[in-house]
Amino acid sequence: MIEETLQEWLDTLSMTIEQKVIAGMAVRLAASFDETGHTSTAAELRKTILELQSQLNANRQDIDPLEKLLTR
C-alpha cells in the first residue's frame, strides 16, 4: 500500500539521477515496510523521503515578479 502510493507520487516528479537513487531507496524501504511493518523500517523510510523532499525543494527556484520590477 505505501509502496504503491509512494511510486504514484514519484511518477509525477522530474528528478536528477541522485534524486532517482534516493527515490529508489525509498521505494525499496516502502516495500519492506509493507511486508514486515517494522517501526525501524518506517523510521528509515521517513528519513529517506524527507531527504528526497529536501533535495527537490533545493532545486526549485521561487520566482519573485516584484524582484524583477525593483531591479530595473
Residue 18 has pLDDT above 70, yes or no: yes
pLDDT of residue 19: 94
Residues 41, 9: Cα–Cα separation, whole Å: 19
* Residue 57: predicted pLDDT: 87
> In angstroms, what CA-CA distances link 57 with 4, 36, 52, 63?
23, 31, 9, 13
Reported as a pLDDT band with limits 50, 70 and 90, residue 70 is: confident
| Closest by Cα among 25, 13, 21 to 56 | 13
User: Would you list the domain boundaries of the chain?
Assistant: 2-70
pTM as predicted: 0.77
Alpha-carbon gap, residue 26 to 23, rounded angstroms: 5
